[in-house]
């Protein structure tokens, strides 16, 4: 499948069937911690990046292929910012007519200042926008947004959406060591959160391969400080455990590429997801992944992650160039 992937394990959403509305990597932010690489170039125009009816047909097929209980949430998330697709509201409405599964939208929240975007998200059961900074300066340093996606528009959109929206509003904060985990940075975020009044605050950690090599998760002191300053509604979301559903595509390679395009995987996760396969079949799958030209190996925190080949990780691109000049591949 091109646009639907998983289900994938999520600590917040159980087994989540992902729906991707845009190509890799279409986003108006260029976050230092992004697991999908850099946004080159930044995009801020809302349009129909992929055919909405094609997405809906894949969703119908995926829903029909799974038994009750195998999917907990249907989640619009993926290769960048899903609200850049101007058919998102239509898709949510159509999916609501197909299934009783709850629908979540994971968004950076930057377009919530637009009335039409706020209207489109109203039918969703949960909306998870980002708030990584409580000041314009830190917002620019951490999220590196498109010039039109200003801090003022972000905060105004979040506050206005909260007043209008009757579903669950779960604000996500990606905590980065020595960047937004100080008392000053957390206090400024807490002040903004008091104005927005979300139902929950989810503190996320950059455990998947961040685009910038210097990005590190906070230490224990930073986590304790965040929980203390952000209040009782804030809790830490640790990485989910569990296997990934690789049954939704014609071939196993297609299924893996579909997931790592939106959700880079450790090699150990790939192996765990293939636990019912023989050792020879697992080795063959990894060999096919390496030789396909559709994937790349990213090393972060001493671990090996597989990501889609088009994802732009500058340090990896430079290493690949150097290795090619020496006449061998980095994937060997």
Can you identify the CATH homologous superfamily of domain 4-237? Answer: Aldolase class I (3.20.20.70)
Buried b (16+ CB within 10 A) or exposed e, 271-283: bebbeeeeeeeee
Query: pLDDT (tens digit, 9 = 90+) per residue, 133-173?
Result: 999 999 999 999 999 999 999 999 999 999 999 999 999 99
Question: What are the backbone dihedrals phi and psi of residue 156, each rounded to the nearest 5 degrees, phi first?
Answer: -60, -40
Distance CA 195, CA 132 (A): 15
Query: pLDDT (tens digit, 9 = 90+) per residue, 236-276?
Result: 998 766 667 666 667 778 888 888 888 788 888 888 877 77
Contact status, residue 18 vs residue 1, Cβ threshold 8 Å:
no
Report how far apart, in Å, the C-alpha atoms of 156 and of each of 101, 111, 146, 181 are: 30, 10, 17, 23
Fold of 252-325: Arc Repressor Mutant, subunit A (1.10.10)
Q: Name the packing angle between helices 52-65 and 88-98 (round to 10°).
A: 30
Q: Where in the chain is the domain with CATH 1.10.10.10?
A: 252-325
pTM over 0.85, yes/no? yes
Query: pLDDT (tens digit, 9 = 90+) per residue, 32-65?
Result: 999 999 999 999 999 999 999 999 999 999 999 9
> Quick one: pLDDT band at residue 71, thresholds 50, 70, 90?
very high
The 3-class secondary structure across 102-127, one letter per residue, is CEEEECCCCCCCCHHHHHHHCCCCEE
């Amino acid at each position: 499948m091109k646009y639907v992937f998983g289900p994938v394990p999520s600590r917040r959403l159980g087994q989540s069937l992902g729906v991707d509305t845009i190509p890799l990597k279409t986003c108006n932010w260029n976050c230092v911690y992004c697991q999908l690489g850099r946004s080159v170039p930044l995009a801020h125009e809302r349009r129909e990046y992929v055919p909405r009816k094609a997405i809906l047909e894949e969703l119908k097929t995926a829903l029909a292929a799974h038994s009750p209980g195998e999917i907990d949430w249907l989640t619009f998330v993926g290769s960048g910012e899903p609200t850049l697709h101007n058919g998102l509201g239509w898709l949510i409405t159509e999916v609501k007519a197909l299934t009783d599964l709850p629908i979540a939208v994971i968004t950076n929240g930057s377009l919530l200042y637009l009335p039409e975007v706020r209207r489109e998200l109203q039918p969703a059961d949960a909306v998870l926008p980002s708030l990584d900074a409580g000041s314009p300066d830190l917002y620019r340093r951490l999220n590196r947004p498109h010039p039109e996606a200003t801090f003022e528009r972000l905060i105004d959109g979040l506050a206005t959406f909260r007043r209008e929206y009757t579903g669950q509003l779960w604000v996500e904060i990606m905590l980065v060591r020595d960047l937004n985990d100080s008392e000053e940075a957390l206090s400024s975020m807490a002040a903004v959160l008091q104005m927005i009044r979300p139902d929950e605050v989810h503190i996320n950690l950059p455990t998947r391969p961040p685009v910038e090599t210097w990005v590190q998760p906070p230490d224990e002191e930073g986590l304790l400080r965040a929980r203390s300053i952000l209040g009782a509604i804030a809790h830490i979301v640790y990485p989910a455990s569990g296997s990934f559903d690789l049954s939704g595509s014609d071939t196993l390679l297609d299924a893996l590429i579909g997931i790592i395009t939106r959700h880079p995987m450790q090699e150990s996760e790939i192996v765990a997801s293939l636990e019912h396969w023989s050792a020879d079949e697992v080795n063959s799958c990894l060999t096919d992944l390496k030789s396909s030209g559709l994937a790349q190996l990213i090393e972060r925190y001493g671990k090996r992650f597989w990501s889609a080949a088009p994802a732009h990780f500058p340090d990896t691109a430079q290493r690949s160039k150097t290795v090619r000049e020496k006449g061998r591949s980095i994937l060997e």
